[in-house]
Amino acid sequence: TICGAHSDELAAASRLEESINFYQTSTPDVAKLFHIDTAAKRPSVVLLKKEEEKLTFYDGEFKASAIADFVSANKLPLVTTLTQETSPSIFGNPIKKQILLFAVASESSKFLPIFKEGAKPFKGKLLFVFVELDNQEVGEPVADYFGITGQETTVHAYTGNEDAKKFFLDGEVSLEAIKDFAEGFLEDKLTPFYKSEPVPEPNDGDVKVVVGKNLDLIVLDESKDVLLDIYAPWCGHCQSLEPTYNKLAKHLRGVDSLVIAKMDGTANEHPHAKSDGYPTILFYPAGKKSFEPITFEGERTVVDMYKFIKKHASIPFKLKR
CA distance 274 to 295: 11
- Whether 143 has a pLDDT exceeding 70, the answer reads yes
Beta bridge partners of 57: 46
E-only strand ranges, the chain: 46-48, 55-57, 79-81, 98-103, 127-132, 154-158, 166-168, 207-209, 225-231, 258-264, 280-284, 294-295
CA distance 150 to 60: 45
What is the per-residue pLDDT for 162?
A: 67
Residue among 111, 128, 108 nearest 120 (CA): 128
Homologous superfamily of 79-187: Glutaredoxin (3.40.30.10)
* Measured distance between the N- and C-terminal CA atoms of the chain, rounded to whole angstroms: 94
Query: Domain residue spans in the chain?
Result: 6-75, 79-187, 208-312
| CA 106 to each of CA 109, 126, 141, 148, 149: distance values in angstroms, whole numbers, following the listed order | 7, 26, 19, 18, 17
Where does the pLDDT of residue 2 fall: very low under 50, low under 70, confident under 90, or very high at 90 and above? low
Residue among 219, 214, 220 nearest 229 (CA): 219
Where does the pLDDT of residue 321 fall: very low under 50, low under 70, confident under 90, or very high at 90 and above? low
CA distance 218 to 208: 8
79-187 with 208-312: one CATH topology? yes
Mean pLDDT of the chain: 88
In eight-state DSSP terms, residue 135 is: -
Pick the CATH number of 208-312 from 3.30.950.10, 3.40.30.10, 1.10.238.10, 3.40.50.40: 3.40.30.10
In eight-state DSSP terms, residue 7 is: H
- pLDDT, tens digit, for every residue of 188-246? 999 888 888 999 999 999 999 999 999 999 999 999 999 999 999 999 999 999 999 99
Residue among 255, 273, 257, 256 nearest 265 (CA): 273
- pLDDT, tens digit, for every residue of 248-299? 999 999 999 999 999 999 999 898 999 989 999 999 999 999 999 999 999 9
Beta bridge partners of 99: 128, 157
The whole-number average pLDDT for the span 129-145 is 88
Q: Is residue 195 a contact partner of residue 126, using CB atoms and an 8 Å limit?
A: no
Q: Is 18 exposed, middle or buried (0-12, 13-18, 19+ CB in 10 A)?
A: exposed
| CA 158 to each of CA 83, 147, 205: distance values in angstroms, whole numbers, following the listed order | 17, 13, 36
